[in-house]
Amino acid sequence: MTTSTDVNPNKALWEKGDFTRIAETMRESGEALVKELGVKPGLRVLDLGCGDGTTAVPEAKLGADVLGVDIARNLVEAGNKRAKAEGLSNLKFQEGDATDLKDLANDSFDLVVSIFGAMFAPKPFNVAKEMVRVTRPGGRIIMGNWIPNDPTLVAQILKISGSYSPPPPEGFVSPVLWGIEKNVTERFQGAGIPEDKITCERAAYTFDFAGTPAQLVDNFRRSYGPTMNAFDAAAKNGKANQLGQELEALFQAQNQNRRSA
């Protein structure tokens, strides 16, 4: 008999720590974004890479029938707890992999939303094909993706964290490449979407945290998988303090509430 001990690295990444602590700082922008999506009662929505429901919960509150799918079991459990606490019988969370949505039928959803979620899955062409497959003809797909080397907060967190982390495995495709318009177009064209049906635009996303920049850095250090991995790697090289200082300087520079500086 043989047994497999293979661990999906993407699943391990997002089950590490407690991402809900980061998600709590994203609620306000998540709700504002959902208000712009034209969500209405009866709309069938898939929220992919949903975490604990930062956009899925407000979608359901607007009356849509929402399925949240995430690769991390702990975030699925947290999402179902939120749905129950909010009394949202039209919202369900389940585990799933954005590269292979095998439990979901073709043409199942009017709207597929993935805000900083499916971008982290490997095999981006597979992700695009699966998103298109489960969307009904005439439906919409909306992704929010961080932009590589952008001066904004998370793009810089990922850049700094990457500089302290070991080289990625061969064949690794950086998730932030979803933030480049030509890549988005190429991937969705590969899934059968005409180029004139694919549009990209920049938008701001704000983190609302009632604490100091140093405290928010600590939240990321303890709760955000990519940052946690970077600190683990930096600690082995005696550079954890250096990484912490670099991130705190970034967070201080990005802080828009100087009373918490």
CATH code for the domain of 31: 3.40.50.150
pLDDT for the residue 258:
57
Distance between CA atoms of 183 and 191, rounded to whole angstroms?
12
Domain count, the chain: 1
pLDDT value for 240: 97
Whole-angstrom CA distances from 87 to 34, 74, 78 are 19, 20, 14
Does 61 fall in a domain?
A: yes
Assign 39 a pLDDT band (cuts: 50, 70, 90): very high
Q: Report the Cα 165 to chain-centroid distance in Å.
A: 20
- Residue 192 sits in which domain range? 9-147+170-206
Residue 156 inside a domain? The answer is no
Tens digit of each residue's pLDDT (9 = 90 or more) over 105-162: 999 999 999 999 999 999 999 999 999 999 999 999 999 999 999 999 999 999 999 9
Q: How far is CA 187 from CA 99, 126, 154, 160, 184, in A?
A: 13, 9, 23, 27, 5
Residue 129, in any domain of the structure: yes
pLDDT for 136 equals 98
On the question of pLDDT at 62 being above 70, the answer is: yes
Q: What does the alpha-carbon distance between residue 79 and residue 170 come to, in Å, rounded to a whole number?
A: 34
Residue 105 domain-assigned (yes or no): yes
- CA 186, 188, 189, 194 torsion-angle sign: negative
Q: How far apart are CA 209 and CA 214, in angstroms?
A: 11
Q: For 225-251, what is each residue's pLDDT tens digit?
A: 999 999 999 999 999 999 999 999 999
pLDDT of residue 17: 87
User: Is residue 226 one of the residues assigned to a domain?
Assistant: no
